[in-house]
Amino acid sequence: MAVLEIKTAGEPVLKQIAAPVQKIDKRIKKLLDDMAETMYATEGIGIAAPQVGVSLRMVVVDVDGKRYDMINPEILSREGAAVDTEGCLSCPDLFGEVERAEKIHVKFTTRYHKVKELDAEGLLARCIQHEVDHLEGRLFIDIAKNIQKGKPPQREGRVK
Ligand code: CO
C-alpha cells in the first residue's frame, strides 16, 4: 500500500465528473487500499478517487471505525436537513458550514462485486454526501457558508 499525493483545489481533476468503474480488477482494489491508507495517514474520515488524481467513481469512508469501500456509489434517497462544519483534505486550512440531508439511502458495489445498500445518518451520511460530491466535481467550498481559515473548531483533524 502507499500514501498518495492529495490533489488540492485548483487541480482540474477535482472539477471533473468521475467515470463509473467498469471492471473491478487488481488495480481498482489496490487503489481502494491506497486511498484508505492515504485517508488514515492524513486523519481524514473519507476520501474520493479524484482527490488522488483518479477520475473514477470510488470513495472510502471510515467515520467510527467501520471502513466502507464504495465503488460507483449512488445516493438513492435523502431525508431531512442538517447544517454542520466541514473541511476537506483537498482544501487544507479551510472550513465552513454545509447543509446536507440528515439521512440517506446509498447503493454501492463492493470490491467483491456485491451490490449493497446502506441507510446512513448523522456524520456518516454527511461524509458520504461530501465524497459523492467529489465524484460530481463539487467541493464543499462551492456550497459552504461562512468559510473560514484554519481548522474546524470541533472535530479537529477530521476532514474529508
Ligand atoms: Co473532500
How far, in Å, from the CA of 130 to the mean position of ligand 1? 6
Q: Which residues pair with 74 in a beta bridge?
A: 107
The pTM score is 0.94
pLDDT band of residue 82 (cuts 50, 70, 90) is very high
Query: pLDDT over 90 for what percent of the chain?
Result: 92
- Written as nine digits, the cell of 109 is 458495489
- For the cut 90, the answer to whether the pLDDT of residue 156 exceeds it is no
pLDDT digits over 89-120, tens only? 999 999 999 999 999 999 999 999 999 999 99
Cell 472550513, residue? 95
What was the pLDDT predicted at 128? 98
Start-to-end CA distance of the chain, whole Å, equals 20
Catalytic, 97? Answer no
Q: Distance between CA 90 and CA 36 in Å, rounded?
A: 15
How far, in Å, from the CA of 102 to the mean position of ligand 1? 18
**Which of 121, 131, 136, 156 is flagged as catalytic?**
131
